[in-house]
Chains A and B, each alone.
Chain A
Amino acid sequence: MTHPSHSARYRTDLKQVKAYGSAKMGAHEWLLQRLTALALVPLTFWFITVAMRLFLCTSFPQMISIIASPLNTVLYIFMTTTMLYHGMLGMRVIIEDYVHCRMARAVSLVVVYGVTLFTIIAGFVAIIIAHVTLMGAA
């Protein structure tokens, strides 16, 4: 093996050997992106139906009966989590594609993951608070 001047020889033999092979990660994200996408197809149709009904509510009891239904509650939590997680995975791909500086990429990924998780939890809290309010009003 040729040995260039010492200052240029950063790729030591050990480093080269350690970097061999695949990244050994990423298959999980790829699969989850497809699985969440598949789950989101029926969930989106449900979401649109309920959103339209809520949008067109003319009275408060109407709104309550839509929100208080246990199926709607569970599906709301399921939908929020799945949609935001799918979006998080997608944003990860976009950031990895377009942000080239290593530090900026790491920071952007952490920010996106953090904001998404925060919003998912906020969505949970919102539906719980909604139920507490409804039970108080009933």
Chain B
Amino acid sequence: MSENALPAHPRPLSPHLSIYRPQISSVLSILHRITGVGLYVGALLLTWWVVTLAYSSFRPMPAFWDCFTGICGQVLLIGWSFALFYHMLNGIRHLFWDVGKGFELKTMCRTGWAVILGAVVLTASAWTLVWLYYHQPDLLPWLS
């Protein structure tokens, strides 16, 4: 397992990706891992963005600010927030598995679809709220 040298007689592995159709279990699992990595990188970037904001006395340098509020930054931010909601909901599903609940096939499929639906709904509603408030500030007084 921690070999540095190549094995003298490489042994054949059983096939995996070439024979299995993508299923709700496998796709959600690898998506959990991928969103985890994306969230980690995004969290590092966001923290550094806050650091630069604090050091520039909240008067951000125009080029840097445009980077985050421009179309590219918006797309990345929406993607990061989807990853956040998805990873959180699937994480809750994982926590239920950790205490032993929800392993039945039907339950696993249903909760899997619920996680995807929930992530899409939460992302859409969060960004709709932002967009709504941006254009009609009086609609949501509790947000200010």
Q: Which residues of A contact B (CB under 8 A)?
A: 34, 37-38, 40-41, 44, 48, 52-53, 55-56, 58, 60, 62-63, 80, 83-84, 87-88, 90-91, 94, 100-103, 105, 115-116, 119-120, 122-123, 125-127, 129-130, 133, 137
B27 at the interface (CB under 8 A from A): no
Contact A62 B144 (CB under 8 A): yes
Contact B129 A52 (CB under 8 A): yes
Q: How far is the CA of A123 from the CA of B58 in the complex (A)?
A: 15
Q: How far is the CA of A122 from the CA of B134 in the complex (A)?
A: 30
Q: How far is the CA of A94 from the CA of B53 in the complex (A)?
A: 31
Task: Say which residue of B39, B58, B84, B130 sits within 8 Å of A133 (CB atoms).
Answer: B58
Q: How far is the CA of A119 from the CA of B49 in the complex (A)?
A: 11
Contact B51 A123 (CB under 8 A): yes
Contact B36 A126 (CB under 8 A): no
Contact B40 A87 (CB under 8 A): yes
Secondary structure class of chain A's binding surface, majority of residues: helix
Contact B130 A87 (CB under 8 A): no
| Chain B residues, Cβ within 8 Å of A63 | 58
Tally chain B residues at the interface, Cβ within 8 Å.
Answer: 35
The 5 closest A-B CB pairs, nearest first, are: A87-B40, A126-B54, A126-B51, A130-B54, A129-B54
B104 at the interface (CB under 8 A from A): no
Contact B40 A52 (CB under 8 A): no
Task: Say which residue of A52, A60, A103 sits within 8 Å of B58 (CB atoms).
Answer: A60
Give the Cβ gap from A115 to chain B, nearest Cβ, in Å: 7
Q: How far is the CA of A37 from the CA of B3 in the complex (A)?
A: 33
Give the Cβ gap from B104 to chain A, nearest Cβ, in Å: 22
Task: Say which residue of A34, A56, A58, A83 sits within 8 Å of B95 (CB atoms).
Answer: A34
Q: Which residues of B1-31 are within 8 A (CB) of A?
A: 2-4
| Chain B residues, Cβ within 8 Å of A133 | 54, 57-58
B126 at the interface (CB under 8 A from A): yes
Which residue of B is nearest A125, CB measured? B51
B109 at the interface (CB under 8 A from A): no
